[in-house]
Amino acid sequence: MKNLSIGILKTDTVRESLSPEFGEYPDMFIRLLKETDAELNFVTYDVEHQEYPNNINEVDAYLITGSKYSVYDNEPWIIALTEFVRELHREHKKLIGICFGHQMVAHALGGRVDKSSKGWGLGVSESALTSPESWSTGDNKFNLLMSHQDQVTAQPENARVIASTKFCPILACQLGDHVLTFQGHPEFDKSYYRALMEVRRERLGDELYFQALEGAKKPIDNPKIAQWIVNFLKKE
């Protein structure tokens, strides 16, 4: 059996001051997922700059990264990505969405995304799958770092909400056997998260900044989520 190949759809660039230490977002996902399966292959497509595969079957599956942008921004590259997600769905290509990617899937496939009236989601979110899934291992509980203002407020038709919190009722979704999305960031380690919050401190204000750092002290389950993602992508 050939090794699984994943196309990473890059939707943002890491701050110039942080990239020398932490790399770009695809680098973070590659590190995360290769710790689960060292045989995985990756190709990065910089969709923010309209770079796409010549054929959707160039790779076995796709993953949409997080981004500072909103899926409802009227940017040409976001409109193009929306159409590409619809094509992937029509062809039942395996697709993972993380943060902006989670929201993009909802936006493209008939759901809804809004800026939350609750404000920023920061720190570690504690949640659990509503029930065991065919691809889940271990217990259903999981903790992920969060950094978002937008939220999915209505899931796509036929999508199941598989995890929820009071702050973020649509925390994770599955659509059929080919789409899996999470609002949280399994690719963020705590050192990057602290550095990102420091960069955003002026924008957040001191109160939210310190709340974010305090909230990030809880343990996180990045390896568990990575295993779930790999299991989902490999499942026939």
Residue environment code for 46-75, b if the CB has 16+ CB neighbours within 10 A, otherwise e: bbbeeebeeeeeebbbbbbbbbebbbeeee
Catalytic residues: 99, 185, 187
Is the pLDDT at 1 greater than 70? The verdict is no
CATH homologous superfamily of 5-234 equals Class I glutamine amidotransferase (GATase) domain (3.40.50.880)
Is the pLDDT at 24 greater than 60? The verdict is yes
Q: Does the reported pTM lie above 0.85?
A: yes
Is the pLDDT at 33 greater than 90? The verdict is yes
- Rounded Cα distance between 82 and 120, Å, is 24
Tens digit of pLDDT for each residue in 164-181?
A: 999 999 999 999 999 999
Query: Both tokens of residue 102?
Result: 């989670």
Give me the pLDDT at residue 47, please: 98
Give me the pLDDT at residue 194, please: 96
Give me the pLDDT at residue 236, please: 84
Q: What is the mean pLDDT of residues 83-109?
A: 98
Give me the pLDDT at residue 46, please: 98
Residue extents of the structural domains in the chain:
5-234
